[in-house]
Amino acid sequence: RSWSVRLAVASASCSRSGALVAVARTAQCVAMAYRGPAYGLSAQIASKIASKRDPELESQILDWIEEVLECRLPQAPYEEVLRDGVVLCKLMNALNPGCIPKINTTGGQFKKMENIVMFQNAAKEWGVPDLDVFQTVDLWERRNIPQVSQCILALGRACYLHPEYEGPCLGPKPAEENKRHFTEEQLRAGEGIINLQYGTNKGANASGINFGNTRHM
């Protein structure tokens, strides 16, 4: 009986813990969604970030996504098209089939934010550098839309690095590594070059120049 009681207590405790975690996550999502307007320094920072938005790049990104997905996107503002993460997850599955097994097309805020996180992880696996990956709040709270664009641009450029991918890419092709190998003989020949062959500037100096001095008559 004592073991049964202990198991029952432990089970109840776990249930309460799980419920608390769920409540905390929901509260966090609600707080993030209903964040008030920024004032003072926060407003200045937000305005500065917003000024960096590039409408032309955003249009190119949406056109590229439509070309990859072979479908039209909703007629809505740029950030609203991407905000729930569904389009981003579909984009990743088009680039790398099966990388996101389940996309949350329904559900609350937490499910939508989960889509964004899944996209971020898949983008890193595709080759997007960590520094180019935006934070979840950058898109969900619209804090840094230019960083979202930078991430998608990096994603499009990473397509060049996947020969198995035959679809359209976005942006310029990344510079390829060009390693050069020298033999021991070539290295030794370089060490034997006389320094004077590189030239010298010892003959040029400021001797005799009295610019700025008082002229004595």
pLDDT single digits (tens) 31-58: 444 455 666 766 777 678 778 899 999 9
Euclidean distance between CA atoms 147 and 134, whole angstroms: 6
- Over range 161-189, report the average pLDDT: 80
pLDDT classification of 26: cutoffs 50, 70, 90: very low
User: What does the DSSP 8-state code read for residue 99?
Assistant: S
pLDDT single digits (tens) 57-111: 999 999 999 999 999 999 999 999 999 999 999 999 999 999 999 999 998 999 9
pLDDT classification of 210: cutoffs 50, 70, 90: low
**What structural domains and CATH numbers belong to the chain?**
53-161 (1.10.418.10)
Report pTM: 0.64
Alpha-carbon distances of 204 from 164, 208, 209, 211, rounded to whole Å: 59, 11, 12, 16
Average pLDDT, rounded, for the chain: 79
